Amino acid sequence: MSSPEAPGEARGHAEPPPETVNQRVAEWNEAELGVEGTLLGVVTAPAPVLSAEGSRVDPTAPEVVQLAADLVATMRVSPGCVGLAAPQVGESVKVFCVDVSEHPKTRDHHGTFVLCNAEVIESSRNEKAREGCMSVPDLTGDVKRATRLVVRGQLPGTGETVTLRANAFEARALQHEIDHCDGFLFLDRAAGAHAIHARKTYL
């Protein structure tokens, strides 16, 4: 049960995750950042930044707020893009944005949001699916991911700690982006030696 007027920043780990969608995160959008996002170039593997663990950030720092706005702006102009992590724009830090609201495989979702220093708290019910990534444009891979997930991170700007429960496609997207922030690509999660495929269709 979320309580927007009493964010859990000070209590941190004490606040249990909401049973359904976290209203605070669902209501968040990039207008809260108060800065215009700039479009950034997306780097592709084998860029070393994609394989380095990102540093933790101060979510209230002006450069982090700007990066959050830039990530959302860049995600918005990339066709079919449902998430973008800072290492994909060359910044080795733990910040990513997600928006799966338009995707057919989405069940519940939190709309557009950005998380800093996010980590997976609980995960269960793995399912295998094929993923593509803007940073690995010529390959796809079969990856097992949890379909039930609890993630904790901080919102950029206010820095408040939020815990959210995600399922289905939003859970997959969150794990993919958190992996980017930790220096992992879907290639690191391949389900087997024959699980990486040459991409067959170009949009």
Partner 1 sequence: MTLHAITVLGHDRPGIIAEATGILSSLGLNLEDSSMTLLRGHFAMTLISAGDAASAEIEAALVSLTEGGDLSASVRELTREEATPSQGRSWVLSVHGGDRPGIVSSVVGRVAAVGGNVTDLTTRLAGDLYVLVAELDLPVEVDVDTLRDDLREVAAELGVGVSLHEVEADEL
Positions annotated as catalytic residues are: 177
Point out which span in 25-33, 59-67, 113-121, 125-133 binds partner 1 (CB under 8 A).
Answer: 125-133
Contact call for residue 178 and partner 1 (CB under 8 A): no
Is there binding between residue 77 and partner 1 (CB under 8 A)? no
Instruction: Decide: 42 and 175 in contact? Cβ < 8 Å.
Output: no
Q: How many CA atoms lie within 13 A of 137 on its CB side?
A: 9
Residue 130 to residues 107, 127, 143, 194: CA-CA distances in angstroms? 18, 10, 6, 12
Assess 197 for contact with partner 1 (CB under 8 A).
yes
Listed ranges 14-22, 108-116, 149-157, 165-173: which one lies at the site for partner 1 (CB under 8 A): 165-173
Give phi and psi for 96, each to the nearest 5: -150, 160
Contact call for residue 133 and partner 1 (CB under 8 A): yes
Of 50 and 65, CB closest to partner 1: 50
Dihedral sign for Cα atoms in the order 134, 99, 9, 1: negative
State the Cα–Cα distance between residues 109 and 68, nearest whole angstrom. 19
Pairing status of strand 136-154 against strand 161-167: antiparallel
Residue 91 touches partner 1, criterion: CB under 8 A: no
Distance, CA of 93 to chain centre: 12
Residues 8-67 that bind partner 1 (CB under 8 A): none
By the rule CB under 8 A, 199 interacts with partner 1: yes
By CB under 8 A, residue 194 contacts partner 1: yes
Q: Which pair of structure tokens corresponds to residue 96?
A: 């990513």
- Out of 7, 8, 18, 83, name the contact with partner 1 by CB under 8 A: 83
Residues that bind partner 1 (CB under 8 A): 80-83, 103, 105, 129-134, 140, 169, 172-173, 176-177, 186, 194, 197-202
